[in-house]
Structure 1
Amino acid sequence: MNDCTYVIFGATGNLSRVKLMPALYHLEAAGKLTAQTRILAIGRRPWNDEKRLSEVREWVSAKARGGLDETIFQRFASRLSYFRGDLTDSEMYHRLKEHLDNRSDLPDNIAFYMAIRPAEFGVVAEHLSHADLLDEGHGWKRVVIEKPFGYDLESAQGLQKRIGRYLREDQLYRIDHYLGKGTVQNVLVFRFANTMMEPLWNRNYIDHIQITHSETLGVGSRADFYDGAGAMRDMIQSHLLQLLTLVTMEPPVSMEAEVLRDEKVKVLKSIRPIPPSAVHAHAFRAQYTEGSVDGEKVPGYLQEDKVPPDSVTETYAALKLYIDNWRWRDVPIYLRTGKRMAESQSMVSICFRHPPQQFFRDTQVERMKQNWVLLGIQPSECLKVEMTVKEPGLEMRTRPTSLDASLRRTHEAATDAYEELLLDVIQGDRSLFLRYDEVEYAWRVVDPVLRIWSTERDFIPGYTAGTWGPEESRRLFEKAEHHWRHSMSPEDT
């Protein structure tokens, strides 16, 4: 393990408060940080040591598993220091360089974490370069940036061009915290460590695939960002397309980062382009209206704070895609995400084809139900294989049952995705981070849809908060018997 100085830009902001500081504390608790690793928080607020420690203590206490351990916190706090500065001030970066050079306790290996607005990525990269903070004469220099990487294909290309002037691709760590979830990684393990599934994992046996991410929450305090993004950009372009690549990719020759990402890019390149004339046959959007969630009345999207009254930003998006390669030709893949829905969950649902012959046509079994493989990402981390069995009794009746496997034993604590990703940056493991061509080809998939939607400003369908979204989205399905899979329960199909 390398010694490292974690420099966090935007260290007083929401991401640092909710994710980064708690994750680093948990790495401390797990003994994963070397003795010399340090954390340098950068922000504009005039914090002294007392204020810094009280704030960080409050952040960590709110998230610490099993409560805050004072001994561990004191060890963690000894790593932490604060540097006041304004990101837009070029002189600040020269002061930062001097600070890093003059403090012998700060390791030369530096990870710069940009917990800042995407619009500032290019500005900060330029200032870091001009102050020689990216010079690798002494130790490596890595830069971590959060999504979104661009607003559309053109802006992503522009951002890459600007950042590429100052950073090599191997120095950039584009973080997608969704990929850090252990259950998402279990998709790879399930596929490639179990030989019984691989022969069935193709168009000959699989009818269609669904990938769903639903939330009961509304936009909350993110309205400023969300109204300019929408569900397609916020979830489908990044998280769900990444899940799609893991579910459908070819077996890599190894789990090395570049080999793994090569296979993911092959999938994205193989996705059938959606022509403008076919957007409405492949995509559907809607916006939540007032309703009830968990027994409480909630406002509609247009009634949320800071949302323009004439907004047509989608809070629900569904997309139908095809992968034009040998394995998946003509298998429809449905992606769906929405806010203010009936439940909060992420799941991958693999529906298998009907048996080629109806063996039970002269019995009370009119038609066999299709088999499903269900991968629960959150909140339940589990795997279910749904099958048909005969009911007890003299008559030939069947019912669905499932073979269930929890992916985490009761005594095994859940970890936050950021813990693994922050550690991977120190170790130089880029397998769970996005390479630029992954980002670009993901934008190419959704860009035709976003372009058409941007011209349709007069109307957007609604769905009642607390439901499973608009019924009209079923028009995306290729077959009349297809339906959205809402639950991992065998009865709810």
Structure 2
Amino acid sequence: MKTLAPCTLMIFGANGNLSRLKLIPALFRLEQANVLPEKMVILSAGLEERSRDEWVGEVEGIIKAKYPKGYDKATFEKFKTRHQYHATPIGDAESYNRLKVLLDEDANYPTDVVFYMAVRPSEFPVIIDALGNVGLLKQTAGTRRVVIEKPFGYDLLSAQSLQKSLYKHLNEPQIFRIDHYVGKGTVQNVMVFRFANMLLEPLWNRHYIDHVQITHSENLGVGGRADYYEGSGALRDMIQSHLMQLLALVAMEPPVSLAAEHLRDEKVKVLKTIRPISQSAVHAHAFRGQYASGTIDGKPVPGYLEETGVASDSTTETYAAMKVFIDNWRWSGVPFYLRTGKRMAENASAIMIRFKNPPQDLLRATRHEPPRPNWIMLGIQPDDCLKMEIQVKIPGLELQTRTISLDATYRKEGEDEYDAYEGLLLDAMEGDHSLFLRFDEVEWSWRVVDPILKVWAMERDFINTYSAGSWGPRGTYRLFDREDQFWRHSLNVKGGDLEAY
């Protein structure tokens, strides 16, 4: 691992959920791993006035709550020396002038600064404008970088408008659009699996692959995020960002190198070649639903309309599925199915790749059931694994077959497991854009889903529902092209059969 230059990491929204649940614990884990740069400063910004000692006490409480068994007093003593606090009350323009003096004139603060926007998306332009107006984004004495969380815009037009406002003070290399989903180890392993192994690359095309499924399901509801979710929905929240990134990694051509721009160039090429969905074709390519009351883990749970903060007539989708085609030489005619949903049967994320059946079925006379295809499956969460399904002969006198699963576990016993944010924070400090999104990636992802959003926005009279604890609404089968295609619900051989509807 490279030795990083000292930097100041400033977290706006330091007292919010993202900072408390992800960023501060991730930085503590990096401290434990002894990879944070010497003399690095973590400057937390919040609306409230706090002394440094008060904030350090809160940070210690955050770490103890996150790692009740992994709290190490000696590590925290070193960790706390990095922390400082700066108040930025609403309407206090002078707070940014004070911040400029602090960062420019105090020798204790490294001149390379990473500003992390752990705030609501509506606050991105306001804060960046304030930083730019006092000159804190100019790269005179050191580098200045800004990390922005999703969602990046609400639709294509708002994303373009937001980008225009950022370009007033920043250039593209200064902007790090974070997608923590892409930072997960298994997601990165898609690239390793494809480009470090010769075994499957000759088969990775339309001649051998029948279709690809990318699924992210959750058994959680909206919880306390109803105000955000009412303005977002499943299509914006998951498919436009996370699942489109997975599609790009699965479908992209081998890059010239693993350099950031080469990787991002190939992902953009894939997104550009996705066949546009006209508004008249939306119903043939997309399906939405909303969870009703049901049972999760044996306990009754309310429906979406009964959640606090949700309008009684809301047609916000909590389930979204879509079919896209990539019109290029490698993938022409191969459907890619993407789906996501809340209050579903399991918490699971996976990429399922189904291969075509052999051109001639030599065993049709001896088999008592339809032929079963080969699958390659990459589990992302909670099962971090690679599985391959093939057919073998059942021991005995007759020539009968069954499906077996070849299972590979990436992680060996004793190997450390890191959260996606830990690696992404290091990348941002180093200036490595490989796992961050360039604006044209964001823009082309919006172009894919924009027609669907427009049609759904006009159709406010009805939305399909599904029971909490199920695998989604009835009728999603209509997205498939043939009767022998179906949603794959499980990574295991047993349970991977046809869905119930």
Whether 2:183 is the aligned partner of 1:183: answer no
User: What are the superposed Cα offsets for residues 129-158 of structure 1, whole Å, 9 maximum, x if unpaired?
Assistant: 110101211110000000000000000000
Using a 3 Å threshold, how does the CA distance of structure 1 residues 394 and 88 change in structure 2: closer, same or farther? farther
Task: Give me the whole-angstrom Cα distance separating, in 1, the residues matched to 2:91 and 2:403.
Answer: 60
Q: Distance in 1 between matches of 2:411 and 2:119?
A: 33
| 1:169 to 2:172 alignment | yes
Amino acid of the structure 1 residue aligned with 2:27:
L
Match of 1:423 among 422, 426, 445: 426
Which amino acid letter does the alignment assign opposite residue 463 of structure 2?
A: I
Displacement, 1:409?
1.5
Select the residue among 119, 122, 133 that pairs with 1:119: 122
Q: Which is worse superposed, 483-492 or 88-97? A: 88-97
Q: Which amino acid in structure 1 is aligned with residue 10 of structure 2?
A: V
Residue 189 of structure 2: SS of its match in structure 1? Answer: helix
How far residue 491 of structure 1 moved from its aligned partner, in angstroms, is: 1.9
Provide Cα deviations, 1:33-52, integer angstroms capped at 9, x if missing partner: 11111100011122223321
Distance in 2 (CA, whole Å) between partners of 1:309 and 1:58 is 38
> RMSD across aligned C-alpha pairs, in angstroms?
1.0
Does 1:483 find its partner at 2:469? no
User: Structure 2 counterpart of 1:206, which letter?
Assistant: I
C-alpha deviation, 1:87, in angstroms: 5.1
Give the 3-state SS of the residue equivalent to 1:342 in structure 2: coil
Output aligned runs, 1:76-115, within 5 Å.
76-86=79-89, 88-115=91-118
Counterpart position of 1:324: 327
Counterpart in the other structure of 2:7: 4
Q: Give 1:297 deviation, angstroms.
A: 0.7
* Cα offset, 1:365, TM superposition: 4.7
Q: Deviations over 1:150-175 (max 9, x none)?
A: 00000000000111111000000000
CA deviation digits over 1:392-432, x for unaligned, max 9? 11112111101100111232232110000000011110000
Normalised to the residue count of structure 2, the TM-score between the two structures is: 0.97
Output the CA distance in 2 between the equivalents of 1:225 and 1:362. 56
Correspondence 1:142 to 2:115: no
**Correspondence for 2:29:** 26
Q: Is the 8 A contact 1:360 1:367 kept in 2?
A: no
CA contact (8 A) 2:48 2:89 kept: no
> Residue 60 of structure 1: CA displacement?
1.4
Hey, what's the Cα distance between the residues in 2 that align with 1:429 and 1:192? 20
Amino acid corresponding to residue 485 of structure 2 in structure 1: H
Q: Which of 281, 285, 294 is the matching residue for 1:282?
A: 285
Q: Which of 156, 159, 183 is equivalent to 2:159?
A: 156
Summarize the alignment of residues 366-377 of structure 1 with structure 2, pairs less than 5 Å apart: 366-377=369-380
* Residue 216 (structure 1) shift: 0.6
Counterpart of 2:402 (choices 386, 399, 405) is 399
Instruction: Report the 3-state secondary structure (helix = DSSP H, G, I; strand = E; otherwise coil) of the residue aligned with 1:134.
Output: coil
**Alignment partners' CA distance in 2, 1:454 and 1:366:** 44
Runs of 5+ unmatched residues, structure 2 = 497-501
Q: Which residue of 1 aligns with 2:471?
A: 468
SS of match in other structure, 1:488: coil
Matches within 5 A, 1:4-403: 4-64=7-67, 66-86=69-89, 88-403=91-406
Conservation of the 8 A alpha-carbon contact between 2:26 and 2:421:
yes
> For 2:224, what is the secondary structure of its paired residue?
helix
Q: Are positions 1:458 and 2:461 aligned together?
A: yes
DSSP-derived class of the 2:125 partner: helix
Give the distance between the partners of 2:107 and 2:141, measured in 1 at CA: 13
Match of 1:409 in 2: 412
Q: Distance in 1 between matches of 2:367 and 2:409?
A: 34
Q: 1:193 deviation in Å?
A: 0.4
CA distance in 2: counterparts of 1:276 and 1:364, whole angstroms: 44
Q: Secondary structure at the match of 1:144?
A: strand
Q: CA deviation at 1:66?
A: 4.3
Deviations 1:173-197 (A, max 9, x none): 0000001101000000000000011
Unpaired segments ≥5 residues, structure 1:
none
The whole-number CA distance in structure 1 between the counterparts of 2:451 and 2:89 is: 38
AA in 1 matched with 2:155: D
Letter in 1 for 2:465: G
Structure 2 distance, partners of 1:365, 1:66, is 54
Q: Aligned partners of 1:390 and 1:471: how far apart in 2?
A: 36
Contact 2:179/2:242 (8 A) holds in 1 = yes
Provide the TM-score with structure 1 as the length reference: 0.99
**1:73 partner SS:** helix
The verdict on how the C-alpha distance between 1:88 and 1:421 changes in structure 2, with shifts beyond 3 A counting, is: farther
Distance 2:367 2:356 in 1: 21
Deviation of 1:65 (Å): 7.9
* Equivalent position amino acid for 2:88 in 1: G
